[in-house]
Amino acid sequence: MEKRVALELRGRTPSQVKELNLDNCRSTNIVGLTDEYVNLEILSLNNVGLTTLKAFPALPKLRKLELSDNRISNGLNFLKGCKKLTHLNLSGNKIKDLEALKPLEEFEYLKNLDLFNNEVTTIDDYRSKVFALHPSLKYLDGFDKEDREADDSDDEEEMNGNNDSDEDGEGSDVEEEEDEDEDVSLRAVYNENLEEESSASSLYEGSDVEEEEDDDDDGEAGDGDDHEHNAKAQDGDENADGSPEESTRGKKRKHEDDDEN
């Protein structure tokens, strides 16, 4: 087991490890796992051959512990350093009576306990007695008190909800900062769009003003042409009126000359 633990570190320090899988590494007792794993949350020791939990380290953040298919019959008191434990799988072990389960009373967060394929499951009223022994328990062997099957999503929520309050606070702060950044970005985009629309409107209005000015210029030009035309027309009328007068006077003079002769 000690070699397997060292291998699973993969260059990390024990305090950096949050999940550790030691399944199938053969050992009858705990070796190589120490109190240095202060941030370990999930530990799997399935089918290792453990006969005792003696020397089990204090893991203050451990939430899920897999110990199925070993040869454990008692000694659950050695898990007392794992106060945050919510899931404990002891299926396929050698637990024979309720007395061996008594140490689990101290685990106030324990929600899911699996004792399938242990001799203890054959005693009368096994389920009701185990639920009575552990009031915090929600699921036993995958079912609740009303024999309803456990929902995986509920289990995940319970496990996630058991994180330290400080971590939750930090997560909330991060979310708030992300929301604020998102709001700022949205406002920037919105203002940008407004500026673009405003610029487009200004250009449009400017073109309208230019068109109106062009229309006015055309109108003034047209009025000038009309005045010039009218003036010419008046001149034409005078000339037209003048010509007949001159012609009549010429005729009268000619007639008077003829009479004198």
Q: Which residue has the higher pLDDT, 192 or 6?
A: 6
Q: Give a yes or no: residue 140 inside a domain.
A: yes
CB atoms within 10 A of CB 101: 20
Q: Give a yes or no: residue 219 inside a domain.
A: no
Q: Give a yes or no: residue 30 inside a domain.
A: yes
- Give the domain range for residue 41: 2-162
Q: Which residue, among 79, 141, 134, has the nearest Cα to 113 in the 3D structure? A: 141
* Cα angle: 26, vertex 31, 34; to 5 degrees: 140
Residue 107: which CATH number?
3.80.10.10
Q: Give a yes or no: residue 220 inside a domain.
A: no
Banded model confidence at residue 57, pLDDT cuts 50, 70, 90: very high
Q: Give a yes or no: residue 244 inside a domain.
A: no
Predicted confidence at residue 216, as pLDDT, reads 52
Q: Give a yes or no: residue 260 inside a domain.
A: no
Banded model confidence at residue 151, pLDDT cuts 50, 70, 90: confident
Q: Which residue, among 34, 83, 38, has the nearest Cα to 55 in the 3D structure? A: 34
Q: Which residue, among 102, 56, 47, has the nearest Cα to 79 in the 3D structure? A: 56
Number of domains, the chain: 1
Least confident window among 35-44, 51-60, 164-173? 164-173
* Rg, the chain, Cα only: 51
Residue 196 has pLDDT above 70, yes or no: no
Q: Give a yes or no: residue 185 inside a domain.
A: no
- 128 Rama class: left (phi>0) / alpha (psi -120 to 50) / beta: alpha
Q: Are 63 and 41 in contact (CB under 8 A)?
A: yes
CA distance 202 to 221: 29
Q: Give a yes or no: residue 235 inside a domain.
A: no
Predicted confidence at residue 191, as pLDDT, reads 61
pLDDT tens column, 58-110 = 999 999 999 999 999 999 999 999 999 999 999 999 999 999 999 999 899 99
pLDDT tens column, 238-260 = 444 444 444 444 444 544 455 44
Mean pLDDT, the chain, rounded, equals 76
